[in-house]
Amino acid sequence: MRLANKVAIVTGAGAGMGKAVALRFAREGAQVVVAEIHAAGGKATVEAIRRAKGQAIFVTTDVSQENEVKAMVTTTMEQYSRIDILYNNAAVELHGQDARAHELSAEIWDRTHAINLRSVWLCSKYAIPPMLEQHGGSIIHVASPTGLYGCAPGYTAYSASKGGVVALTRVMAADYARDNIRVNAIVPGTTDTPMIAPLLEDDGIRARLTALAPLGRLGQPDDVSGLAVFLASDESAYCTGGIYMADGGLTAV
């Protein structure tokens, strides 16, 4: 097992890719903290892990709220006494509210940035001190093609938040390299999860998004899991500051 004896926090692990990664981390031997705002989804992930004889706890967490993030990290330390992996996955895409720059409200900009970017910094802020004590850790941020290219017209707040995640990956990698805390980002492609279900309901949009990926299909939630395990494990000991694609080739063309 590639993550034996490691403790992993996965944010937004109640659905989509976060759930797939939490299940996979547990299968690889990690003790998993499911940090999720929606109790039903978070508890279902923990039950699925336990049914498969893995170890996990659910901690209700709104990652945009500093007191909740702080409490989640405290609970993790009380339960497992260490943090080896932080998988910063939780995010929202506010369909129908995110918009072109001049049409976007400050409220939607702020909400998107609080959940997608500020949260990534906040979870890191509280998870890093135990990692410094342990002299090691792996932090993985989930970015997006929209943070690299203008490939999602009309999604100003979301794209800008994901661009911020890329910058945060690099500055944190530089800041903590000598502490043996590695910081990398995964860029998923268009992936069939609840996040983009409102888009995929439209057959025309589904066909267009499918055709955009050179591999000729949409991503499935588990398509990021192998990369996540690699970056979380000691196999990636010399990898930090990297932006890794699991996008079906979307950003290569």
Ligand X SMILES: NC(=O)c1ccc[n+]([C@@H]2O[C@H](COP(=O)([O-])OP(=O)(O)OC[C@H]3O[C@@H](n4cnc5c(N)ncnc54)[C@H](O)[C@@H]3O)[C@@H](O)[C@H]2O)c1
158 is catalytic: yes
Query: Minimum distance between the CB of residue 152 and ligand X, rounded to whole angstroms?
Result: 9
Nearer to ligand X, 137 or 219 (CB): 219
Q: Residue 183 region, left (φ>0) first, then alpha (ψ -120 to 50), else beta?
A: beta
Distance CA(242)–CA(247), nearest Å, equals: 15
Residues 164/141, Cβ–Cβ less than 8 Å: no
212: closest CA among 242, 191, 185, 227? 191
Q: Considering only residues 15-54, where is the footprint of ligand X by CB under 6 A?
A: 15-18, 36-38, 41
Query: Minimum distance between the CB of residue 135 and ligand X, rounded to whole angstroms?
Result: 28
Distance CA(88)–CA(21), nearest Å, equals: 11
From 76, 156, 184, 190, residue interacting with ligand X (rule: CB under 6 A): 190
From 159, 193, 225, 233, residue interacting with ligand X (rule: CB under 6 A): 193
Q: What is the CA radius of gyration of the chain?
A: 17
From 32, 188, 229, 246, residue interacting with ligand X (rule: CB under 6 A): 188
Residues 112/94, Cβ–Cβ less than 8 Å: yes
Residue 110-139 contact track with ligand X, rule CB under 6 A, x = bound: -----x------------------------
Q: Does 191 bind ligand X (CB under 6 A)?
A: yes
Residues 246/144, Cβ–Cβ less than 8 Å: no
Contacts to ligand X by CB under 6 A: 11-12, 14-18, 36-38, 41, 61-64, 89-92, 115, 142, 144, 188, 190-191, 193-196
